Amino acid sequence: MKHALITGGAGFIGSHLIDRLLAEGWKVTNVDNFDNFYDRAIKEKNIKAHFDYDNYVLVEADIRDLDNLKEKLTGDYDVIVHLAAKAGVRPSIKDPVTYQEVNVKGTQNMLELAKYWGVRQFIFGSSSSVYGINPNVPWKEDDCVLMPISPYASTKVSGELMGHVYSHLYEIRFIALRFFTVYGPRQRPDLAIHKFARKIMKGEPIPIYGDGSSRRDYTYIDDIVQGIRAAMEYKGSMYEVINLGNNQTVSLLEMVKTLEDALGIKAKLEFLPPQPGDVPQTWADVEKAKKYLDYIPSIPYNEGIRRFIKWLNNHN
């Protein structure tokens, strides 16, 4: 039985990945500190079903505390999937020091553990935010002009670079996956699709920062999990950075219209000034993911929204 160590496994992406791994017969150790960025009860609900499996272990710990991690974890892992992080562009502007501590020091601690234990496969959850304001769309991994414009984005760039160091020095295969606006059931409540849907249902105005023309490459959670699983099995080169996106863009106003159609409710819009740190568009070139991971996003945006609203109606 293969054993995966997942950090941040009580969160949105991590809990879906663990669903998949447990269904496939993996042994899973989940490290999560239940950060108060959003309600702990939401994360507890995400992982409730995981305790039905004898091959699942939850370790409540903070990735900043290396000694505690060494004490609580066994080290007998085939792969580490490091998803734990302080999330969010705008909050990182308010508290950049904590983001640095968690996302950079925490990532280095996990790489130190991989070195210490001899774990040779390390998957890192990076972000499309590393590209910053880059007009060369769709964004390709070999575009070396990374211009992050938020502390959060800069910590993800740091994680990718640190992974290269550890891969080079200690023969750890490091795969950085740049996630593009992931959505679906269990999506974090602070993210736009989830937040907007709830506001529409309550008849509350939706904040539109800017003129609504900003565009995002929305990627359904099942496609992201498929990409992570493929990266866990990848045995090619020792260091890669790979986009996981949907390879299409949707404007903010188009996203709201899709939610209106799915809910059958007209939204109230409140236009506000653009927010610092927000990029005007994200758009993933996924040819590398297709080549290296056989990754082909299979859930169209409209279908993904339909599935999300169905989940939301059942969990409201």
DSSP string computed for 205-237: EEEEESSS--EE--EEHHHHHHHHHHHHH--S-
Q: 227: domain range?
A: 3-180+219-247+283-298
Is residue 311 in some structural domain?
no
Is residue 151 in some structural domain?
yes
> What does the pLDDT look like over 9-56, one tens digit per residue?
999 999 999 999 999 999 999 999 999 999 999 999 999 999 999 999
Mean of all residue pLDDT scores within the chain: 96
- The residue among 21, 166, 148 whose CA lies nearest residue 81 is 21
Catalytic residue among 77, 152, 295, 301: 152
Q: How confident is the model at residue 135 (pLDDT cuts 50, 70, 90)?
A: confident
> What does the pLDDT look like over 155-205, one tens digit per residue?
999 999 999 999 999 999 999 999 999 999 999 999 999 999 999 999 999
Secondary element (H or E) of residue 15: helix 12-23
Q: What is the CATH number of the domain that holds 75?
A: 3.40.50.720
- For the segment 227-236, the average pLDDT, to the nearest whole number, is 98
Q: Among 9-23, 107-121, 135-149, 291-305, which stretch is predicted with the lowest mean pLDDT?
A: 135-149
Q: How confident is the model at residue 140 (pLDDT cuts 50, 70, 90)?
A: very high
- For the segment 66-72, the average pLDDT, to the nearest whole number, is 98
Report the C-alpha gap between 297 and 245 in whole angstroms: 7
Is residue 117 in some structural domain?
yes
Q: How confident is the model at residue 101 (pLDDT cuts 50, 70, 90)?
A: very high
Is residue 308 in some structural domain?
no
Is residue 9 in some structural domain?
yes
In the chain, the number of structural domains is 1
> What does the pLDDT look like over 88-98, one tens digit per residue?
999 999 999 99
Question: Residue 292 catalytic?
Answer: no
The string of DSSP letters for 125-176 reads EEEGGGGBS--SSSB-TT----B--SHHHHHHHHHHHHHHHHHHHH--EEEE
Is the predicted pLDDT of residue 274 greater than 80, yes or no?
yes
Q: What is the pLDDT of residue 145?
A: 64
Which residues partner with 219 through β-bridges? 182
Is residue 315 in some structural domain?
no
Is residue 252 in some structural domain?
no
Is residue 115 in some structural domain?
yes
